[in-house]
Amino acid sequence: MADIALGRKVPDIALQLTGDRATSLAEYRGKPLVLYFYPKASTPGCTQEGLDFSAAIAKFRRQSCTVLGASRDSLKAQENFKAKQGFPFELVSDQDESLCTAFGVMKNKNMYGKQVRGIERSTFLIDADGVLRREWRGVKVKGHVDEVLEAVKSLGK
């Protein structure tokens, strides 16, 4: 986690995207990137968050901003989630947790009285130069996308 901090350039990390495409964070330099992490594909909160980003995608694109969603789900699960919900952006399959670990989103959580390790819902705004400008941790879905969009707009073009 020490590598990634506000005001610092984000390291180039390999990504496995829906559409069976291998890429890396560096490929997104040149315009802003919103990278949001969610705990599990096809669960109610994660579905709502994805739908909220979908509903606002035209506004993000007007800011020349790319949106990527990421979780530890398999590529197949991510493909199914994207297709079922009609998301107009790619999803990242981070089964080896390299991306999650780099951004420090893995947390111990209580589920039904048991300690489980999982993703803390979080969003990161990376500017066109690859510098981390904003982060939101422990995100509550309602109203979150609007807040992220305002932060993207504040970057200017």
Catalytic residue positions? 46
Separation of alpha carbons 155 and 157, rounded Å:
7
Burial of residue 60 (CB within 10 Å: 0-12, 13-18, 19+) is: buried
Specify the amino acid at residue 139: V
When computed from its CA atoms, the radius of gyration of the chain, rounded to whole angstroms, is 15
Residue 24's SS3 state is strand
